[in-house]
Amino acid sequence: MDLNSFSSNEVLFEDIFNEYSDDVYKLAFTYVKRKDIAEDLVQEVFVKVYKNLDKFQNNSSIKTWIFSIAINQCKDYLRSAYYRYIYLSEKISSVANGGTKTPEELVLEEFGKHLLTKDVLSLPVKYREVIILYYFQELKIKEITVALKVNENTIKSRLTRAKEIMKKKYHERGYQDGERTNKASQGVSYK
């Protein structure tokens, strides 16, 4: 995207929002596992983008810059007292209602029909984020290092480790490498 081709920040911002808001939404969802919270995070992220658009320098791609803001926002949310309060309230409410599922569990159940997605969402954050950025968002390793502010070797080793964990789960279900099977993505129809 050529930033200079836009006459005003207002127009530029709307284009940026329309271009990347879905990606940020998906990314935020993989951190917080709640659609409503992910939507709120999209708003928070783009408020920052809107306010700081003038400060953006072309040192990285605008996508990497926005992802970097989004990742920080998601991690801040997961560390926040609000998140802990919500998480505990839902757990308590779940127990009080005789073991009904929490919204997060319902989401995992919904996405769990696709086993790979369930596996990815079950990974620890540091492994999950590299899988999401590399495979789902198709960022290059160098772009991931910028977005996560972690060095390249660490990213590579986390990626390897994440794949090992997923491979182990994959094999535990009795499937072999390269074996095309619709069991691996139960409930998902192939084109």
Partner 1 sequence: MEKELTRLVKESPINEMNLSRERKKELIHRIKDGQQSRGFRVTKPIFAPLLSFLFVAASLSFFFYFGASEIGLNKGSIIDRGMPLYEVTIDKPNALGETYKFPTKLPFKAKEVISKPLEKFPNTDGNSAMSVYSVTFNGEDQQSLRVVFTNFGSAASNIQLEGDEIKQGEFTGYYRQSQLVKENDDIKFKTSSLQWLEQGNLHYDLSYKPGKSNVMLYENELLQIAQSFR
- Residues found near partner 1 in the complex (CB under 8 A): 10, 13-14, 17-18, 21-22, 25-26, 29-30, 35-37, 39-44, 46-47, 50, 73, 76-77, 80-83, 110-111, 113-114, 116-117, 120, 135-136, 163, 166-167, 170, 177-180, 184-185, 188, 190
CB of 122 to partner 1, least distance (A): 13
Helix (H, G, I), strand (E, B) or coil at 65: helix
Amino acid at site 76 = D
Q: Which is nearer to partner 1, 10 or 152 (CB)?
A: 10
CB of 81 to partner 1, least distance (A): 7
Q: Which is nearer to partner 1, 126 or 183 (CB)?
A: 183
Helix (H, G, I), strand (E, B) or coil at 5: helix
CB of 52 to partner 1, least distance (A): 12
Residue 99 to residues 33, 65, 90, 115, 136: CA-CA distances in angstroms? 19, 41, 11, 23, 33
CB of 169 to partner 1, least distance (A): 12
Q: Is the separation of the CB atoms in 62 and 1 below 8 Å? A: yes
Q: Which is nearer to partner 1, 11 or 92 (CB)?
A: 11
Q: Which is nearer to partner 1, 44 or 104 (CB)?
A: 44
Q: Is the separation of the CB atoms in 53 and 9 below 8 Å? A: yes
User: Whole-angstrom Cα distance, residue 63 to residue 11?
Assistant: 17
Residue 156 to residues 51, 122, 123, 127: CA-CA distances in angstroms? 33, 20, 16, 10
